[in-house]
Amino acid sequence: MNKEELARLIYELIGPKSNIKDLTNCMTRVRVQLHKEPSDESLKAIKGVMGVNHSGEELQIIIGPGKAAAIKKLIQGMMDAEPEIEEKTEMSTETQSKIEEKVEVSSEVQPIKENEAPLKEPHVTKEKPIEAKKSVQDLAKAAKVGDGKELHKAIKEKNATPAKLFLKKIANIFMPIIPAFIGCGLITGIINIIIKIDPSLASLPFVKILMLAGSAVFFGLNLFVGVNASKEFGGTPIIGGVLAAVLTQPALNGIEFMGMSFIAGRGGVIAVILIAAFAAYLENLLHRIVPDILDLFVTPLLTIIISTFAALMICQPLGGFLAESIGQVATKAIAGGGAITGFVLGGTFLPMVMVGIHQGLTPIHAQLLASFGVNILLPILAMAGAGQVGASCAVYFKTQNQALKKTV
């Protein structure tokens, strides 16, 4: 099945356009938020869909590496090709009909005369008693085969914990940057291998340009994170980028204010995420306070001024402390933990991948690279993937199920 056909079959289940609240993708999954979700079984029945996962309100359709971005783009094209539905007109018509029904009912109600029994209250004005919220266990006991909507909804609500929602936000900040990590990382790795073979090649202008391209993602990482974080927290993306630039500018070195000496880049991406969240909150607060006629000028001005000092005096020291703590903990765990550290890290990484929150570790990876030039955690985490490859090979050679073999 080609990509166009796969995208069409998926869209037939998750569409139309009015049913899709949000559409994104990561490296292996098409991620959607829908008003009404299709059954997992109907999606899994599509040849080319490897699985389905739920994270809060997000439905994750597992397509596989190299395909998710293309399928998402094709689905987006189908959405864009759909004619716009005049939802407002339909809504107003529906509302009007409801109003007319209420007027008709109210006109039938007559005033109570003397010595006459009171009329019964029209049924339309009665409100149903609020039912107690059922637990996941209660819904599981009451659920029938083929009817798991309430159970599925309860499970999603139970899993939408603040910790998972926070990790999801962190993942959304870094997912758009991952292709740049891959491209620049491969360039750097290839160039380093070439230079190891022949060190004299490092002086060639062509090689120098490639080395520059390989390090570009880390040079601009704080800016990229600032833009994405501000967008994720509900602020203006470019303001997040501006504040990241404030924390990163070399001119910051040597400036002292109120007994504090500032260092450019201190706190790394952690400080940037903190100030982006603060600035987004402040900006939205100012939008509600500042009069509309002044909002365009006053809100960004105050947001940048206040957030700049908050970034330098609060977020940067706090981010620096957290970044240094992460480096020390990781180094000591690897040096002294031995097999126990490897078991814990390797054993928990794949379950995190399964539920889609592994990208929440990206700030730690980025901070380790910025601090030490290497990521000492990644080789251990990669062993989890190596074990999965070994298990997949065993299944491939042992299974008699041809469909499963093709999936592997």
Element (H, E) at 53: strand 51-55
CA distance 277 to 82: 35
26 catalytic residue (yes or no): yes
CA distance 177 to 248: 18
The active-site residue out of 26, 184, 315, 393 is: 26
For 276, list phi and psi in degrees, rounded to 5.
Answer: -65, -40
CA distance 34 to 153: 13
Map tokens 């592997």 to a residue. Answer: 408
CA distance 387 to 376: 19
CB-hemisphere CA count at 13 Å for 52?
16
- Could you tell me which residues are beta bridge partners of residue 32? 23, 59
Opening angle at CA 20, ends 15 and 24, nearest 5: 110
Give the DSSP letter of residue 175: G
DSSP states of 96-132: HHHHHHHHHHHHHPPPPPTTSPPPPPPGGG--PPPPP
CA distance 244 to 316: 11
CA distance 366 to 219: 12
Which of 347-361 are b and which e, b meaning 16 or more Cβ less than 10 Å from the residue's Cβ? eebeebbeebbbbbb
Residue of 15, 3, 27 lying closest to 358 (CA atoms): 27
The answer to whether the CB of 304 falls within 8 A of the CB of 275 is no
How many C-beta neighbours within 10 Å does residue 189 have? 11
In angstroms, the first-to-last Cα distance of the chain is: 17
Catalytic residues: 26
